[in-house]
Amino acid sequence: MKKRRTNAARDLFAVKQEGRMMTVTPQRQAGLQIDKGLARQLFNRIVSLVLRSPLHGLAGLSRVAMLLTYTGVRSGRRYTLPLAYIRAGDTVITFALFTNTVWWKNLRGGAPVTLRLEGQDWPGMATVITDPEAVTAGLLAFHAANPAMSSRGYYAVPRLPDGSVDVAALPVLAPSRVMVQIQLRPA
């Protein structure tokens, strides 16, 4: 005799959609939930298009966001992704999550990259920095340069109830972040 599925089992089954395994929940069936991965891809494409267009300065976007283009170590393919950054002269700094993202692994040991900064392409050499003290200093510099951006994602800096940076919590946060430092070269 065949067992009947309960409502919970029927509502939480895996289906293949757009080449990815997804869990279907009642909310998703009703169209109330958006796949975060697809939303991120759409957001990244829109930001990339704006940064490549003459509208890159729109609302100051190109002052806080850049396009990083690198070559995959194994695949040899070129990848481009939008990232928040800070710049001091010929040095650009950005961050990645140590465990949840893999793009930075292609830059280990130093790798040539191209940055799209404020409407111009710049060649550079990227270096991955995992030292917690250096990452902590980088996060503090990022926060000082762009406090609004340092409240989101992997750029987030822990804050005290009064809004100031929780310096004591940064060394705990730093091991989960990777700092990518890019030395720009003349175009």
pTM of the predicted model, to two decimals?
0.74
Q: What is the pLDDT of residue 76?
A: 94
Mean pLDDT of the chain: 80
In 29-85 the beta strands, taken as DSSP E runs, fall at 65-71, 78-84
As to burial, measured by CB atoms within 10 angstroms (0-12 exposed, 13-18 middle, 19+ buried), residue 115 is buried
Low-confidence stretches of the chain (pLDDT beneath 50): 2-19
CA–CA separation, 132 vs 141, rounded Å? 14
- CA 155: distance to chain centroid? 8
Instruction: Set out the domains of the chain in order of their start, with CATH numbers.
Output: 61-184 (2.30.110.10)
pLDDT in tens, 9-28: 434 334 434 445 555 555 55
pLDDT in tens, 67-78: 999 999 999 999
CA–CA separation, 112 vs 70, rounded Å? 7
